[in-house]
Amino acid sequence: MPQKYKFCFGPWNISEGADPYGPPPRAPKTFDWKLEAMKNLGFDAMMFHDDDAVPDIDTKSPKQILAEAKEVKKKLSDAGLVAEMVAPRLWFSPNTIDGAYTSNNPAHRQYAIDRSLRCIEIAKVLGTDVIVLWLAREGTYMRESKSGRQSIDLLVSAFDKMLGADKKIRLAIEPKPNEPMDHAYIPTIGHALAVAHLTRDPKRVGCVIESAHAILAGLDPADEIDFAMSFNKLWSLHLNAQNGLKFDQDKPFGSANLRVAFNQVRALERNHYGSDGQFVCFDVHPFRTTKEEHWLAHLDNSRKTFLRLLEKSRSFDEKRAKALISDRDYQALDQLVIEHLLG
């Protein structure tokens, strides 16, 4: 049976378009508007930061946080949607300027852990066991400011506290080599899966691949997918596109390099991604120039491109490819792929 894919995105993927050089060109939409948009687009699930579910989370009591999370859960259920994951947003607070779990300030490290534990509580209410850890500020701007060795110990100790707080949750690390940091401590899937083995429960520590992050690390996202899935550790996926080594672009899936996108879809197919309930998420942003009336096109287009590439993957002449591979005629194989994609 061919795999049926389920799709999701997060509220931040309907973004306003601010960049370091200018204010947002679009006014923010409410959570309810975004939820309605997701429903109308026919997506299946929503990704959450803890404060997407409970805004201003740091000012609220545990009781209030749970009450608000319950309201969000009800809205989701009413819309026929589920929560795919919850991620502690550990990069906005004044307490995380110098990193969260790896900050040089012990009080700030404690803040990061406390907030992560609250995030787990929210995930339980929203009905997901996946906690995504994009370790935005766990790295250095300056090599001498932190000890890499101590930082790994601190990361493992933070992960252990989360794993100990709830017996069911799974931590999915989302590696990214740089931005906002100069160098991140967990830059690739190999690093994420290696760190998993230092924790108290390696089985519950896996990863999320983001296409753009793999490309920023100089890697092929399809290889990262094959690698993670060899360990059964790919618990979520942020598909998007990235045009070379520059700032993280989060372009629509397929937008920068169709062949790289095609190979990601092929990797998902050969590994049966989704058969354990995983979703295909698009961590994409609209171009800054996008007008309000076209605000959702990047999400719809990413899914359209994914589905077109799925057809391309399923109709690829595997027999011919195999024959060319046995004959070591990679020149013809290259052309076979190009002509297949050209249609």
Please pick, from the candidates 283, 296, 303, 306, the single residue that binds ligand GLO as defined by CB under 6 A: 283
- Asked if 251 interacts with Mg ion (CB under 5 A), we say no
In 3-state terms, what secondary structure has residue 46? Answer: strand
Compute and round to an integer the Cα radius of gyration of the chain.
20
Extract the tokens encoding 266.
């092929």
283 counts as binding Mg ion under rule CB under 5 A: yes
- Residue 115 found at the interface with ligand GLO (CB under 6 A): no
- Catalytic residue list contains 52: yes
Q: What is the DSSP letter of 327?
A: T
Choosing from 134, 227, 235, 273, the residue that interacts with ligand GLO (CB under 6 A) is 134
Query: What's the gap between Cα 343 and its chain centre?
Result: 31
The answer to whether 87 contacts ligand GLO (rule: CB under 6 A) is: yes
CA distance 150 to 292: 46
- Decide which of Mg ion, ligand GLO, none touches 176; Cβ closer than 5 to 8 Å per partner kind: ligand GLO
The token duo for 97 is 């300027």
Question: Is position 84 an interface residue for ligand GLO (rule: CB under 6 A)?
Answer: no
Q: Are 9 and 49 in contact (CB under 8 A)?
A: no
Examine residue 135 and tell whether it contacts ligand GLO (CB under 6 A).
no
For residue 88, how many other CB atoms are within 10 A of its CB? 27
Give residues with Cβ within 8 angstroms of 322, minimum separation 6. none
Contact string (CB under 6 A) for ligand GLO, positions 233-262, x = contact: -----x---------x--------------
Which two tokens mark 246? 């520059």
> Residue 95 or 242: which CB sits closer to ligand GLO?
242
**x/- binding map, residues 176-195, to ligand GLO, per CB under 6 A?**
x-------------------
State the DSSP code for 56: T
Report what 248 binds from Mg ion, ligand GLO, none; CB cut-off 5-8 Å by kind. Answer: ligand GLO
Minimum separation from the CB atom of position 328 to ligand GLO (A): 39
Interface segment toward Mg ion; rule CB under 5 A; list 95-103, 178-186, 237-245, 318-326: 237-245
Q: Checking DSSP bridges between strand 130-134 and strand 170-174, what pairing results, if any?
A: parallel
User: Is residue 248 close enough to count as binding Mg ion by CB under 5 A?
Assistant: no
Q: Which residue number is nearest to ligand GLO in terms of Cβ?
A: 87
Q: Does 52 bind ligand GLO (CB under 6 A)?
A: no
Q: Tell me how far, at minimum, the Cβ of 49 lies from ligand GLO, in Å.
A: 6
Of the candidate spans 39-47, 108-116, 235-243, 307-315, the one that interacts with Mg ion by CB under 5 A turns out to be: 235-243
**138 forms part of the interface with Mg ion (CB under 5 A):** no
Prior bond to 286 cis, omega within 30?
Answer: no
Q: What is the DSSP string of 217-286?
A: TT--HHHHHHHHHHTT-EEEEEE-B--SSSS---BPTTSS-HHHHHHHHHHHHHTTTTTTS--EEE----
How far apart are the C-alpha atoms of 331 and 323, rounded to whole Å? 13
Selected binder of Mg ion within 210, 224, 226, 248 (CB under 5 A): 210
Q: Which residues are catalytic?
A: 49, 52
- Residues of this chain that interact with ligand GLO (CB under 6 A) are 87, 132, 134, 174, 176, 210, 238, 248, 283
Give the interface with Mg ion as residue ranges (CB under 5 A).
210, 238, 283
